[in-house]
Amino acid sequence: MVKYAVLITCFNERDRIADVIARVQRHNRHLLVVDDGSHDGSREIIVKTGAPALFHAQNGGKGAAIRTGLTALLARDYDYVVFMDGDGQHDPDDLPAFLAEAEKGTDFICGNRMENVGDMPYKRFFTNRMGSWALSHIVGARIPDTMVGYRMIATSLLRRFPLISKGFTIETEMLIRCFKHQISYANVPVRTIYHQMDDNKYRGFVDSWRIFFFCGGMEGMERQILKHQLPTELLPESRCHWANS
């Protein structure tokens, strides 16, 4: 049986994080929440849920939160890590579809919202299509939704490379680094869920341009990692109690 953990990143999601945690726990009790310096009461809500959690003293960006979570999870004996946002835009009820692919031994399983875009704002749809086309060309594989953060990746693959991104480019970095190896890959349809755009921390064209510039700078950053051994983790102010294995 596949053993996996769900890594939930959170920043100022007091109205949604408890529900996300509860719904994930219906499918899998192995989870870790990384709160990236929330100042809206999210931290206190997470503590009340009793879920395993790590807390950043200040906001470091989504990439920093993911790196902190991976530092903890890769030290344990999980076969896979599922990446999920704490804002409720990733539906925990889609987890069985990811798990079905993982049980086949697939290394990299990516959510795909493009089969049913639902209420996806046009700006997001456009930048997604543009970004997915560009990144698919870079990695040499057709990936219909490169911008989705809802993914399941084998820990054996994640242990092969460091991560250095601090913001939303972490997801692009992971994708490019994974496809530098010989991997098996699959897409699974996931629900498209959007809240009011004011609540959305992804800044459309701004973050899309950052992603494209990041792609162009990957080779240089890799040289810096090898030459200077740049730090690949952000040490958190931590409180973490794990579920029993």
- Residue 170 within a domain: yes
Domains in the chain, number: 1
Whether pLDDT at 113 is above 80: no
The confidence score (pLDDT) of residue 123 equals 61
pLDDT, one tens digit per residue, over 225-236 is 444 444 444 334
Domain that holds residue 155: 4-230
pLDDT at 191: 85
Q: What is the pLDDT of residues 118-177, one digit of tens each?
A: 665 556 655 665 666 567 767 777 777 777 889 999 999 999 998 888 887 888 888 888
pLDDT of amino acid 166: 82
Residue 236 lies inside a defined structural domain of this protein: no
CB 237 within 8 A of CB 48: no
CATH number for 74: 3.90.550.10
pLDDT given for residue 230 in this prediction? 41
In sequence order, the β-bridge partners of residue 84 are 8
Residue 239 belongs to a domain: no
pLDDT digits (tens, 9 = 90+) for 169-190: 888 888 888 988 989 999 999 9
In a domain, 237, yes or no: no
243 band by pLDDT with thresholds 50, 70 and 90: very low
Residue 59 has pLDDT above 90, yes or no: yes
Does residue 86 fall inside a structural domain?
yes
38-55 pLDDT per residue, tens: 999 999 999 999 999 999
226 exposure class (CB count in 10 Å sphere: 0-12, 13-18, 19+): exposed
Q: Is the pLDDT of residue 198 over 50?
A: no
Average pLDDT along the chain: 80
Residue 240 lies in a domain: no
Who wins on pLDDT, 244 or 107?
107
Structure pTM?
0.80
**Predicted pLDDT at 228:** 41
Whether 157 maps to a domain, the answer reads yes
Mean local confidence (pLDDT), 6-20:
98
Report the percentage of the chain scoring pLDDT > 90. Answer: 52
